């Protein structure tokens, strides 16, 4: 069995995001216009950023355990440009995090607990299957790469 911590995060997130696209998870209309937080100047340029953030939040809830909206918004925060002053860390949008957690709850991948959100067995199964497929793809790529050495 493959541990989710051992799998490269970018490959795992892309795999889960593509699975969300295949399942036709509905994207809210406001995603075209919203910024990621007050530290950002512009809205997202990618059309499918919502799927990527869904997968990323699911992975963070799995790794961090009991985690709430405020802590997740700090995880996705940035630094604010304050002109000639030094940069200052700011939190990400709690509205986006809250909406993503509600979407994951409606898909039964995450559930509420007294102190935050935790992953359900269905969410853990999705992550385990995706990590196993990613590691299998990595090992095949490594084998083909070794042929050329």
Residue 91 φ then ψ, to 5°: -80, 160
Buried b (16+ CB within 10 A) or exposed e, 114-123: eebbbbbeeb
Listed in order, strand segments (DSSP E) in 1-139 are 78-80, 88-90, 110-112, 117-119
C-alpha to C-alpha distances, 62 to 9, 10, 26, 66, 134, nearest whole angstrom: 12, 15, 22, 9, 17
Q: What is the pLDDT of residue 25?
A: 84
pLDDT tens digit string along 88-125? 887 888 888 999 999 999 999 999 988 889 999 999 99
Residue-range domains of the chain with CATH: 4-142 (1.10.10.10)
Residue 146 φ then ψ, to 5°: -65, -25
Q: Which two tokens stand for residue 42?
A: 């512009």
Query: pTM of this prediction?
Result: 0.85
Instruction: Please measure the distance between the N-terminal and C-terminal CA atoms of the chain and give it in whole angstroms.
Output: 29
pLDDT tens digit string along 36-58? 776 666 666 677 888 998 999 99
């Amino acid at each position: 069995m493959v541990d989710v911590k051992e799998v490269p995060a970018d490959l795992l997130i892309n795999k889960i995001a593509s699975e969300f696209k295949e399942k036709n998870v509905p994207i809210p209309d406001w995603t075209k216009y919203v910024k990621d937080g007050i530290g950002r100047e512009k809205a997202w340029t990618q059309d499918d950023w919502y799927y990527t953030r869904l997968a990323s939040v699911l992975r963070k809830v799995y790794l961090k355990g009991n985690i709430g909206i405020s802590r997740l918004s700090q995880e996705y925060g940035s630094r604010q440009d304050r002109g000639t002053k030094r940069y200052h860390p700011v939190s990400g949008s709690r509205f986006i995090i809250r909406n993503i957690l509600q979407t994951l709850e409606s898909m039964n991948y995450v559930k509420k607990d007294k102190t935050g959100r935790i992953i359900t067995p269905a969410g853990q199964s999705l992550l385990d299957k995706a990590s196993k497929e990613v590691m299998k793809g990595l090992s095949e790529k490594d084998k083909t790469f070794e042929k050329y050495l």
